[in-house]
A and B are shown apart, each in its own frame.
Chain A
Amino acid sequence: MPTLDELRQMPHISVSSLKCFLACPRKFRIRYIDRVESAFKPVALPFGSAWHDLVGFVLHRHGRGEAATREEAHDHLRTVLHQQLNNDGPPVLFEDNEDEGQLADTAMAMLDAFTAKVAMPEEVLRIELPFSVELHDPNTGETLPAPLIGSVDAVVRENGRTALWELKSAKRRWSEDALSFDLQPTSYQLGLRSQGLDDVDLRLLVVTKSRRPDVQVERLHRGPDDERDLLATAASVVRAVQAGCDHPVRSWQCKTCEYAGVCR
């Protein structure tokens, strides 16, 4: 299986791109069809990448039978966070009252909260597992023109069962609606099945990005109806894009849109 970066170089569908279209077809066109580089990158993106990397580092050491010390985790985080914030590409913009040091402190507080609440798994099977799944229109059976791609954060064994761990850093906990309906866990279920992993528990682990982080641990359920919804959404978005649907959706999100400079 190619890496996620390699999969992204080929025509593909992703939950991110579907959500982008549903939020604003104009933004979708600018980003995915016109391929305009964004004017900036909100700090949540590099911070989220650094957070994933940090937890992956801890899980990887645990999987080797070692326990990463807090100092080792901190050193790893500082290196990764600095890289993420200073990569080539669009400039990263902070939120108010943030700087690199404060973000590192927040991430370590989040890690402390995470390790205090979440028991390490019995076995770490895989960290960052990419997948590519062929999709079919649930109404016509037609194969969609590009596969659904993504990457599962971690596959582990816990309580004698195989589980997917989806790690999130967020401003707030996931709502009940998001827990029930978000497309991303559904895509992971499809992705894991394509890798021969069926009957996998879906675990969402959200750590809030704050001075006193909250850890939300949820077991998610996605059934055939949820998978049909994902397929129908993907098929519908593909049809709309092929038809040239690219109207803007003006909202509060326009103020901080990375493509405001070319949208109007």
Chain B
Amino acid sequence: MNKSLNETRTHSGERSVNMDVAALVAELNDASEALRRVAAHLERAGNGGRAADNGRAAPTSVGERLTTKQLGYINAIARRAGLSRDALIKLLLDTTGKDDPALLSRSEASSVIDRLNQVADQTS
């Protein structure tokens, strides 16, 4: 936060604070974005990652959930495709109606991986 504020002393010894408004705005936006991501994560955790209101069912059985390997693939391919976290979540919503990768079923995860590979191929 100190980057945007530059404290100086006047010739009479008084303190003067010069504000770089643009830098301050940028820092506030970064902090706001970080808080927004945490809030979104907490909201998903609190809602159990329920699907959007498009009628798709969310499996709750532990045996139906995606595997750790599938989750790793999803994160790795998304990174390779240059997708931000928000873009990945949008792709998940478009493909499965869910916004939390950890709550995908195994078949949903396979669909997402296929879609991500398509995106990665298009961007490479």
B19 interface residue (CB < 8 Å to A): no
Report whether B42 and A37 are in contact in the complex, using a CB–CB cutoff of 8 Å. Answer: yes
Interface contact B38-A256, CB-CB below 8 Å = no
Q: How far is the CA of A95 from the CA of B49 in the complex (A)?
A: 21
**Which applies to chain B's interface (DSSP): helix, strand, loop or mixed?**
helix
Interface size class of B (residues with CB under 8 A): 20 to 34
A86 touches B (CB below 8 Å): yes
Q: A99 near B68 (CB under 8 angstroms)? A: no
Per the bound structure, the CA–CA distance linking A181 and B49 in Å amounts to: 40
B38 touches A95 (CB 8 A): no
Query: How far does the alpha carbon of A94 sit from the alpha carbon of B103 in the complex, in Å?
Result: 12
Most chain A CB within 10 A, of B68, B76, B103, is at: B68
Query: Known contacts A39-B102, A262-B38; is A93 also within 8 Å of B67 by CB?
Result: yes
Contacting B at CB under 8 A, from A232-262, are 254-256, 260-262
Does A161 sit within 8 A of B, measured CB to CB? no
B89 to chain A, nearest CB (A): 8
Across the interface, do B85 and A43 meet the contact criterion of CB distance under 8 Å?
A: no
13 chain-A/chain-B pairs, Cβ below 8 angstroms: A34-B38, A36-B38, A36-B41, A36-B42, A42-B68, A91-B49, A94-B63, A95-B67, A96-B67, A96-B69, A255-B73, A262-B41, A264-B85
Are A261 and B85 within 8 A (Cβ)?
A: yes
Which residues from chain A contact B62 at a C-beta distance below 8 Å?
Answer: 85-86, 91-92, 94, 100
Distance between A64 CB and nearest chain B CB, rounded to angstroms: 33
